């Protein structure tokens, strides 16, 4: 789904569409798989529900898992959607270190916000 793009990001192509939720989301199984492959370090019990951080256009957004989103789709709140959606888009996925830093700037604590 995603391939290494740079030292801090992976690149993937997703179908991006607006939705009525207040957070961006991808299909829960996709979310857990990406979390496990790219964010887990293989030591101890690890969360697979931590938000992914994706860069769409010029902004970073936390992305949750949601059963109602089709596989291969990024559903973004209508407030973030532009007039060109729905469409296929290149999406950058922050690697584990960058994602943790970006989420901490927003006040998310990995072991507190369960």
Write out the DSSP string of 27-89: EHHHHHHHIIIII--SSSS--S-SPEEEEETTEEEEEEEETTSPTTEEEEETTT--TT-SEEE
Q: So what's the pLDDT on residue 24?
A: 93
**Domain total of the chain:** 1
Residue 47 lies in a domain: yes
The answer to whether the peptide bond before residue 87 is cis (omega within 30 degrees of 0) is: no
Per-residue pLDDT of the chain (114 residues; tens, 9 = 90+): 788 999 899 999 999 999 998 889 999 999 988 888 877 766 655 566 678 899 888 788 889 999 999 999 999 999 888 888 899 999 999 988 888 787 776 655 554 444
User: Does residue 82 sit within a domain?
Assistant: yes
Whole domain around residue 11: which residue ranges?
Answer: 2-106
CATH number, domain at 24? 2.40.40.20
Contact 94, 9 (CB under 8 A): yes
- On whether the pTM is more than 0.85, the answer is no
Cβ-based burial of 82 (10 A; exposed 0-12, middle 13-18, buried ≥19): exposed
Residue 113 belongs to some domain of the structure = no
Model pLDDT, residue 112: 42
**Structure confidence at residue 87 (pLDDT):** 92
Domain assignment of residue 24, yes or no: yes
66 in any annotated domain: yes
Radius of gyration of the chain from Cα atoms?
13
Residue 112 is assigned to a structural domain of this protein = no
In a domain? residue 114? no
**Residue 48 falls within a domain, yes or no?**
yes
> What is the pLDDT, as a whole number, of residue 19?
93
8 Å CB contact between 91 and 56: yes
């Amino acid at each position: 789904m995603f391939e290494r793009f740079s030292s801090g990001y992976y690149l993937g192509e997703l179908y991006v569409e607006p939705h009525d939720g207040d957070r961006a989301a991808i299909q829960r199984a996709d979310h857990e798989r990406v979390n496990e492959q790219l964010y887990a370090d293989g030591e101890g019990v690890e969360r697979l529900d931590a938000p992914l951080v994706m860069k769409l256009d010029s902004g970073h957004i936390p992305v949750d898992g949601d059963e109602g989103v089709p596989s291969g789709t990024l559903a973004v709140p209508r407030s973030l959607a532009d007039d060109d959606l729905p469409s296929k888009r290149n999406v950058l996925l922050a690697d584990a270190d960058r994602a943790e830093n970006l989420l901490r700037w927003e006040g998310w604590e990995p072991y507190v916000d369960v």
